[in-house]
Amino acid sequence: MANDRPPFDAGFGVYVHWPFCASKCPYCDFNSHVRHQPVDEARFVRAFQADIAHQAALAPGRTVSSIFFGGGTPSLMQPATLAAILEAIAKHWTVAPDAEVTLEANPTSVEAERFRGYRAAGINRVSLGVQALDDDDLRALGRMHDVDEALWAVRVAASIFKRYSFDLIYARPKQTPQSWRAELEEAISYAAEHLSLYQLTIEPGTMFERLHKAGKLTVPDTDMLRDLFDVTQEVCEQHGLPAYEISNHARPGAECRHNLLYWRYGEYAGTGPGAHGRLWTGGQRLAFSSEKHPETWCARVETHGHGLNDSELLKGTEEGDEFLLMGLRLREGIDPERYRLLTGRPIDLARTGRLLEQGFIEILRNRNIRASAQGVPVLDAVVADLAM
């Protein structure tokens, strides 16, 4: 069929959400749950298999270029569970020979033998939640590992996988540009190709939000945030890890392909409790989300054959807004022609000109539009202006 693929196809990926954690971090608003009894992994495997089959029927014939196991803490699952999920994906779609298959892991869940099991199952890239290289800050962030354990986990990952990355959180309470510079340079000495560097944000419904409202948690002000952001860009550029997206830095060619698929507004299935997806079906883009509670998600799959609880076919203007919001995070920017195809109208030249004059956007040689260094810190406002 002529309309069985989205225009300007940016690839197809699968996101797998494993919602369980050993503990809940005070800053985290992800769909994660702590269980004090062993998880019935066999039941969840059956649910993943059925949910994947349902989504494959909506978007058949795809070639999977990336698979990402996120959470939660997917490194808490048994390698056999992960292998069974990968087998279900390969049963219903074609997995490209060079597909990127990423697993998120916490340093406390890293075991060399288990990592070898993940590699044997098909994982070829890991992303470690290190979060800080300061023991006091790790305790304040509610992390269960210390710096030594984190760096040991990085070394284990490096010995088993050709590709690995780790995350750090900055703009932490009392952090200075000088201390962050030193910590970041230490981190880069362990990072082979990729770092994810996130500013601490106070998310609704978290313990940190309650502490912040009570005046027990102070975060850097706007000026300090900008200084810390500038240090991040400067140090990473100097060490050959430029930002390819606002919070992600990589050596050229080592970018996370799965995340690039999101930011380039590709197509992806999302399976597991709380997972989201964007599938092109019947000539339109279907946006959906899944039941968040893990055991309720399983029960829903067992009853209905899938875990989806909310879905809608997006209008062109909604696709255009999402395309801008995702694509302008990228250093490569967005293609205005693709925006026109999605929405049926071009980007407003008057608004583009005004943002260009104000220094918030740049026009690249290939005519792509991207947020400038001045525009990145106020990206939401830039997107809102272009989308009006």
Q: What is the pLDDT of residues 154-172, one digit of tens each?
A: 999 999 999 999 999 999 9
Distance CA 241, CA 238 (A): 8
Residue length of the chain: 388
Place of tokens 């298999």: 49
DSSP type of residue 351: H
CA angle centred on 115, ends 114 and 117, rounded to 5°: 65
pLDDT at 7: 67
Domain boundaries of the chain, sorted by first residue: 12-262, 316-388
More confident: 13 or 373 = 13
The CA distances from residue 295 to 40, 188, 309, 340, 356, in Å, are 10, 40, 14, 42, 50
Q: H/E/C letters for each residue in 10-28?
A: CCEEEEEEECEECCCCCCC
The predicted model gives 213-230 an average pLDDT of 93
Architecture label for domain 12-262: Alpha-Beta Barrel (3.20)
Q: How confident is the model at residue 3 (pLDDT cuts 50, 70, 90)?
A: low
pTM higher than the cut 0.85? yes
Summary mean pLDDT of the chain: 94
* 316-388 CATH: 1.10.10
Does the pLDDT value for residue 9 go beyond 60?
A: yes
CA angle centred on 32, ends 27 and 35, rounded to 5°: 120
* Residue 45: other Cβ atoms inside 10 A: 20
pLDDT at 89: 98
The predicted model gives 284-310 an average pLDDT of 97
Tell me the per-residue pLDDT of 41-67, one tens digit each, with 9 for 90 and over.
999 999 999 999 999 999 999 999 999
pLDDT at 1: 42
HSE-CB at 290 with a 13 A cutoff on CA atoms is 36
